[in-house]
Amino acid sequence: MDFGVPREVRDLESRVGLSPAGVSTLASAGHAVYVETGAGLGAGFSDENYREAGGHIVYSAQEAYGRADVVAKVTRPTAAEHNLFRPGQTIFSFLHLPVSSPDLLEALIEREITAVSYELIQEDDGTRPVLLPASIIAGQMAPIIAGRLLRSDYNGRGILLSGLPGVPAAVIVIVGAGTLGSNAARAFAGLGAEVTVLDENPRKLQQLYDMLYGRVTTMFANELNLKRATRFADVLIGAVSQSGRRAPLLVSREMVRQMRPGSVIIDYAIDEGGCVETSRPTSLRNTTYVAEGIIHHCVPNMTAAYGRSTTYAITNAALPYLLAVGEGNVETASQQLPALGRGVTLVNGRLVHPKVAQALGKSI
């Protein structure tokens, strides 16, 4: 089967659909992999790295798409890429269709594309294996981002995350105890910050509490507790999501208003619409804005700041599904790997994912 790896075109997007090691694995299985020239440069992979791995370098996005039965991407295609879709091909990517521009869905339908949303691939136990490594990286990035934005020269509160003898540590409030929130909690707690985590799932709170040996405060995520916790937060982390749906809006503008000026909100749910009422997407070029006196950091492709690590992680997680499709098609691969089937959003241009259809107000 022929695979295509186009260069990602969003601003400062350094990740790429496959690492050279991933290309080598597909090529060793007998597949042809066409990589657009320069596709891996942001992650530190040269064209020669891909050639040595058995890939074929092509010199336009048109060719990377045009030769491919299966396209491996990271971010959802931009409007400029829609006309490059080859009718009937399969596209793997983080698509987030419930909050995407309507023209993407229209293009997928018109070109009869089979679309697999990485963020929706899900195991029987609820684990989302391709989203998982990206969430781990994002969670571990949280103290790096928060520590910088709290600095006085960034108009933050001038608070050191760890505190020091006689001086209190920063107060961190994390909404969501999933993979991202748990990794953020562990990273902040490791620096000595005062961490509170809220979630509506008591089991997740128990697991996090046990994992960190009680070094975090856990609270049930109801409106009263959210109001109490956010009032004293120096840093508020939004780390909630709902598979196939828009993220729930849990932190209201009123809660943001009660936070102290110069505090920081990092809304990781922004790629699914955001979980804070005052959130709106920013970019790696212009990462922040101020609303209600609070610094907001809401970058959908946040892990592109660590493009090489993220590319390796996503490739490792996605390869089993790409290989399975390469041996037949999405239908047969989904029978072999049921988790893949849960990520299939469209088949030959027909919307087939119930939750996505419901979120979009469409029928299937």
Residues with catalytic function: 96, 271
Report how far apart the first and last C-alpha atoms of the chain are (Å, whole number): 29
Strand partners, 32: 2
Q: Which residues fall within 8 angstroms of residue 273, CB to CB, at 6 or more apart? A: 98, 99, 246, 247, 249
Q: Which of 189, 144, 198, 197 is nearest to 170 (CA)?
A: 189
- Nearest by Cα to 23 from 43, 10, 12, 88: 43
Task: Using alpha carbons, select from 19, 125, 124 the residue that is nearest to residue 74.
Answer: 19
Tell me the backbone φ, ψ of residue 149, rounded to 5 degrees: -70, -20
Q: Are 91 and 77 in contact (CB under 8 A)?
A: yes
Q: How far apart are CA 92 and CA 189, in angstroms?
A: 36
